[in-house]
Amino acid sequence: MLRHKVTVLLLCALVFAPFARAASAQTRVPPISLKERTLANGLKVYSAQERSSPTVAIQVWYKVGSKDDPPSRSGFAHLFEHLMFKSARNLRDEQMDRLTEDVGGWNNASTGNDVTNYYEVVPSNYLETLLWAEADRMSGLNVNETNFHSERDVVKEEFNTSVLAPPYGRLFYDIDKDSYAVHPYHRPTIGSKEDLDAATLEDVRAFHSTFYRPDNAILIVVGDFDQAQLDGWIDKYFGRIAKPTTPIPRVTVQEPPRTAEKRYDETGPNVPLPAVAITYLTPPASSPDADVLRVAESILSEGESSRLYQSLVYNQQVAQEAFGQADLRQGPGIFVFGAILASDKKPADAERALLAELKKMQDAPVTQAELDKAVNQLVANQLRERETNSGKAFAIGNAAAILGDASRVNTDIEHLQAVTAADIQRVMKKYFTDTNRVVITYTSEAPKPASTGTAETKPSSTTADKVAESAAPCDEKKTGGLGCFKLSYEPPAKPADAKKTPEADVILDVVVDEQGNVERAKAKSGPKALRKTAEEAVMKWKFSPTLVSGRPVKVEGTVTVKFVLDDEKAAAK
Ligand SMILES: [Zn+2]
């Protein structure tokens, strides 16, 4: 009997092993049925009816990102993301929140290297209101001294909290800066405080009229609507916006191919453990090789069974954390490999180990099991994204704005499924070469001589620089049961004789995942006007993973973000 059973099992295995891949390769995804229009003023409109919930997602993507920031005016695209929530011809300050949150919906916006997008989800009977509001801020934004100064201060504070305060904030800032020789991608999206300070109201108005216009925008509506009614509302509210006659400037700078390895030694204050990052230039996101790079990224760094985790963290114990990321863009992208070192290890150890893993992928094809798992993960992520109206709208926006062809929203999953082990080996050999490499080491800068009480003149030293972790019980249910430890992050004490400047603290509840990424950040106290900025900033922080018996665990706790204010009035907001 037993023997018989074993035979049957083996047969099953033989039958199912090849079948598993065949099944995944044939996963058919129902296409998003897209309707495309272009208004006379150049506005591109994509709509897709989806009646599974009585809601509608509205998104406006402007084809302007940090790469389009004017020379010496880095950070402008991001500054505009903030200004767009101030008043317009008919909208009051922050009214977008009232029109969405007060009816059970939500809204947000983001700025990337290539685009700035604004998005909302509301019950479908509020669709007309939101179309009216988006049209109002596209054409009638109030760019005045008051709005400009208040939002510039908020953005500068975001620089403090997202770049200067987190222990690895500067590393991620340096990666863009060091990876591009001439392309404006070398200016990180957050910009520079000097450029923001040097900006005038005239510069800001010029930026708005140059890029915020219907022929530089894509409107996407997905959800529960009547097509004729939607088209009528779009004509009514967007159709009346004039098309400017001036041309839209486009980045034409070509990043030259790298011809030799370049090395940079970067530093930050109080870096808990050194880090190393290696970047390679990649083709644009629209290139056929981009799909292959995404599968390679997943095999190298998705989860604890990934090659980098298994090799650097688990087996060699040279790093606390290792990652690979295909940062694909409209223009040349970068593939970033990195590691935060284990105690007593040197950047050279991690660099050697990272390069050895790349060489393995070049020397031999990945296994079928690795390939299947990676493709399945990527496809599953896309399917999960498309379960919601807002996820579908993002997929359409990405295809239209970054890939330059909205119809790719319906072919990209097939392309991912077509990637083979031979494709991966070819791409690994093509891009991950010795001459296409930038190596960045990131270590703690030498301690400064004792301060004599002028610490607050440097924002970096007035914001929190110390991470204190201590084991304490918390709610296991919230953290998925793997482990649960309190995490606290406290600003360093100021010298007793420090000059007094107005300050404000925002205290946030945070959950940090096993990789050290912030999963959730919710402000619970502090000035209302600063809470959103603090949440946005903390979401980008990177902690070193908390280890319990050698295993990384999810932690929850509180962090305090300290804002240095220009005047007392701001603190009272
Ligand atoms: Zn921001």
Kindly report, residue by residue over 51-110, the tens digit of the pLDDT: 999 999 999 999 999 999 998 999 999 999 999 999 999 999 999 999 999 999 999 999
Assess contact for 175 and 266: CB atoms under 8 A.
Answer: no
User: Domain limits of the chain?
Assistant: 35-237, 262-443, 456-572
- The confidence score (pLDDT) of residue 553 equals 63
Tokens of 80: 């505009």
CA of 110 to the centre of ligand 1 (A): 8
Please give the Cα distance from 225 to 221 (Å, whole number). Answer: 9
Structure confidence by residue, pLDDT tens digits, 471-489: 233 343 333 333 333 344 4
CA of 78 to the centre of ligand 1 (A): 6
Query: What CATH number does the domain located at 262-443 have?
Result: 3.30.830.10
> Which of 327, 337, 349, 165 has its CA nearest to residue 274?
349
Tokens of 225: 């609507």
CA of 534 to the centre of ligand 1 (A): 10
Structure confidence by residue, pLDDT tens digits, 489-543: 444 445 455 555 667 788 888 887 777 788 888 888 888 888 888 888 888 787 7
Assess contact for 269 and 459: CB atoms under 8 A.
Answer: no
Assess contact for 88 and 99: CB atoms under 8 A.
Answer: no
- The confidence score (pLDDT) of residue 307 equals 97
Structure confidence by residue, pLDDT tens digits, 432-459: 999 999 999 999 987 655 443 333 322 2
CA of 8 to the centre of ligand 1 (A): 60
> Which of 332, 327, 189 has its CA nearest to residue 255?
332
Which burial class, exposed, middle or buried, applies to 52 when counting CB atoms under 10 A from its CB (0-12, 13-18, 19+)? exposed
- The confidence score (pLDDT) of residue 446 equals 76
Structure confidence by residue, pLDDT tens digits, 107-131: 999 999 999 999 999 999 999 999 9
CA of 210 to the centre of ligand 1 (A): 21
Distance set, CA 381 to CA 157, 240, 497 (Å):
33, 39, 53
* pLDDT-above-90 percentage for the chain: 70
Q: Which residues pair with 88 in a beta bridge?
A: 141
- The confidence score (pLDDT) of residue 19 equals 33
CA of 312 to the centre of ligand 1 (A): 34
CA of 158 to the centre of ligand 1 (A): 6
Pairing of strands 437-444, 262-268: parallel
Q: Mean of the per-residue pLDDT values for the chain?
A: 84
Per CATH, the architecture of 35-237 is what?
Answer: 2-Layer Sandwich (3.30)
**Cα dihedral 43, 196, 110, 146 sign:** negative
pTM of the model: 0.76
CA of 169 to the centre of ligand 1 (A): 15
User: Is-same-fold flag (35-237; 262-443)?
Assistant: yes
Least confident of 139-148, 155-164, 469-478: 469-478
Query: What CATH number does the domain located at 456-572 have?
Result: 3.30.1150
User: Per-residue pLDDT for 470 more than 50?
Assistant: no
Query: What kind and span of H or E run contains 139?
Result: helix 127-139
- The confidence score (pLDDT) of residue 528 equals 81
Q: In what order do the strands lie in the sheet with 333-341?
A: 262-268, 437-444, 275-282, 333-341, 319-327
CA of 317 to the centre of ligand 1 (A): 37
